[in-house]
Amino acid sequence: MQAYHFGGGKARWVPYLLLLPGMLLYVLIALGPSIGTTFFSFTNATGIRGAPVDWVGLDNYNEFLLMGQASRDNLAALGRTLIFCFFVTTIQFALGLLIAVLVNKRVKGTNFFRTLYFMPVILGAVIQGLIWSLFLYPLGGPMAKILEFFGTSSEFFGGQPSEAFAWVIAVQIWANMGTTMIIFLAGLQTIPKEMYEAAEMDGASGWQTFKNVTWPLLTPSVNTNLLLNIIGSLQAWQLFLVLLGYRNGTQVLGYLIYAVGFGQTSGSVTSSFRQGYAAAASIVLFLLVLLLGSIAQFFLNRRERRILG
């Protein structure tokens, strides 16, 4: 609790009062329903109101994590989620930073490049997917032609699971790098020009300036971006839906939850809605995201305190 300067008595309640609407919305729309999900995860709920809902204890968790080959398949999907998270986070972070630094330079046309790189973000997963399905059209599409020129070929999204998976990672990075770039750019622009001037006067090289001025002062943006990328990529699945469908060897947890929750695991059959089971799976994903997110948060905070005091 920090010293409050804007008066005591009744005036002390003003920040609480103004904070209330946002808090209420949050509890209503996010927190409340999520607690509901936790509750559902211990039942055999189908999501149909009026249908009997029985308390099944840890059955859903047991089935998801321990029962038969299906549980090993689930764990494989979990592993795949981590692989996806690792590649997307690292590549997107590095590219976003590189591009942000470059488009922050005083060279002509930076505005054009910024706009272009950010553009996919505004399109949404469905359209990103459509655009890439077209660009990676295997029967004489542009990328097929390029690969042909280099004497190779690819089945793209229709290829082997690992290949299709790699293409989804590429599209995911293409689609979201703009956000990372913008957040870095916002951070870069808060760094006063005098700092760079001072560094230049001190004769620092480009790399030294980056290392000693840019990088430490970017800390808030670094934190935001890393957290967003980790969490976002752990939860991302829409591109898998749009580009691949529910295919063996490519499922990630988020997609798995949606598919079992809404009876879409087999492509053409509408099976039962296993929302209790799906809820248990989403709690597992939640714990995973929470764990990785908290670890990242812990180290980032420590680093921030060290640098910015």
Closer residue to other proteins in complex, CB, 86/148: 148
Phi, psi of 55 (to 5 degrees): -75, 120
Binding to other proteins in span 221-260, by CB under 8 A: 223-224, 227-228, 231, 245-249, 257
What is the Cα–Cα distance from 45 to 68, expressed in whole angstroms?
A: 22
Closer residue to other proteins in complex, CB, 72/302: 72
Widest Cα–Cα separation across the chain: 77
- Interaction between residue 210 and other proteins (CB under 8 A): no
What is the Cα–Cα distance from 164 to 120, expressed in whole angstroms?
A: 20
Least distance (Å) between residue 36 CB and other proteins:
3
Amino acid, res. 144: A
Binding to other proteins in span 63-122, by CB under 8 A: 63, 67-73, 98-99, 102-103, 105, 107, 109, 111, 113-122
- Interaction between residue 15 and other proteins (CB under 8 A): yes
Binding to other proteins in span 149-178, by CB under 8 A: 155-161, 174
**Pattern 180-209, binding to other proteins, x per CB under 8 A?**
--xx-xx--xxxx-xx--xx-xxxxxx-x-
Q: Are the beta carbons of 301 and 243 closer than 8 angstroms?
A: no
**Pattern 45-64, binding to other proteins, x per CB under 8 A?**
xxxxxxxx----------x-
Q: Are the beta carbons of 74 and 281 closer than 8 angstroms?
A: yes
Least distance (Å) between residue 86 CB and other proteins:
18
- Interaction between residue 220 and other proteins (CB under 8 A): yes
- Interaction between residue 138 and other proteins (CB under 8 A): yes
**Pattern 19-38, binding to other proteins, x per CB under 8 A?**
x-xxx-xx-xxxxxxxxxx-
The residue behind tokens 């913008």 is 182
Q: Are the beta carbons of 177 and 121 closer than 8 angstroms?
A: no
The C-alpha R_g of the chain, in whole angstroms, comes to 24
Residue from 264, 293, 260 nearest 275 by CA: 260
Closer residue to other proteins in complex, CB, 90/208: 208
Closer residue to other proteins in complex, CB, 15/57: 15
Least distance (Å) between residue 175 CB and other proteins:
10
Q: What angle do CA 81, 125, 100 make, to 5 degrees?
A: 80
What is the Cα–Cα distance from 243 to 305, expressed in whole angstroms?
A: 42
Closer residue to other proteins in complex, CB, 86/155: 155
- Interaction between residue 298 and other proteins (CB under 8 A): no
- β-partners of residue 43 are 55
